[in-house]
Amino acid sequence: MGDFSILAKQTMSLTGRELKHWYRSRIQIVMALVQPLMWLGLFGVAMSGFTQGLGVDYFSFLSMGMVIITALSTSMNAGMSVVWDRRFGFLNKLKAAPIPRGMIPLSKVIATTVKATLQSILVLIVAVLLGLNLLPGFGISELMVVIAVVILTALIFSSVFVALGLVIRNQETIMGINMLLNLPLMFASGAMFPIASLPGWLQTVASMNPLTYAADAVRRVSVDWDPAMMASLSLGQDLVVLLVVAIFVTVTGMALANRGLKA
């Protein structure tokens, strides 16, 4: 029990350092919110004009997708945090410190998950102010489902990109991977468009994308949308898929990250 307490304190100490760097850089927080707000303010409002006569509230549909995409974007930047720590020598100091090396990537994943959750909640609040129509029964329990889905999404992608940041040492390569994967992950999912409206081959791709199940889960508890236009799974099945994927990817990602630390 004592060893666990020490490990927990070490992990929380490293996590706290990551969060201090984040909330002290206000411009970083603002920039992280610019992309989803631009999508909502420009793309969301414009598309709502096209669908207004069809009885479809596309803005509300997109808003919940942006909540999930915010978690994705924040998580993808986790790898750059590792790159900067290596570049300024802090990573080498951590590797020489008397702490288990597994605490280093784990603390970054936890910190990124916290950041992604807070930023996603901010996007949800702004979306409500811009006209997001939540279900009449939306309350604390539904909000907790949304937060849980955001946490699972952040765990999945932050684990992947923290591992990449430790395995790949080139800063330009990490940035290139981020730019290469960002848009495909967004568009090859149900986050931006109803999955039933996608071509058959793209629906197959979207069915393998965790964002599809995350977006589907948050919409089922928050907005009025035709279930036939969403993924075929139920809310419970969406959550189980996300949980299983999160556990598998997090464990695998931490194993790869530890290997990268030893290199």
Where do the structural domains in the chain lie, given as residue ranges?
Answer: 2-262
With a CB cutoff of 8 Å and minimum separation 6, the contacts of 91 are 82, 85, 104
- Residue 160's pLDDT is 92
Stretches in the chain below the pLDDT threshold 50: 1, 53-54
- Residue 54's pLDDT is 44
Cβ neighbourhood burial of 69 (10 Å; 0-12, 13-18, 19+): buried
DSSP of 232-253: SS-HHHHHHHHHHHHHHHHHHH
- Residue 263's pLDDT is 62
**What is the spatial distance between Cα 21 and Cα 37, in angstroms, rounded to a whole number?**
23
- Residue 243's pLDDT is 95
Other Cβ atoms within 10 Å of 84 Cβ, number: 13
| 142 contacts 53 by C-beta, under 8 angstroms | no
**What is the spatial distance between Cα 26 and Cα 160, in angstroms, rounded to a whole number?**
26
CA torsion 32-37-39-41 (nearest 10°) is -160
- Residue 52's pLDDT is 54
Amino acid at 164: L
Query: Is the pTM for the entire model greater than 0.95?
Result: no
**What is the spatial distance between Cα 219 and Cα 180, in angstroms, rounded to a whole number?**
27
- Residue 103's pLDDT is 81
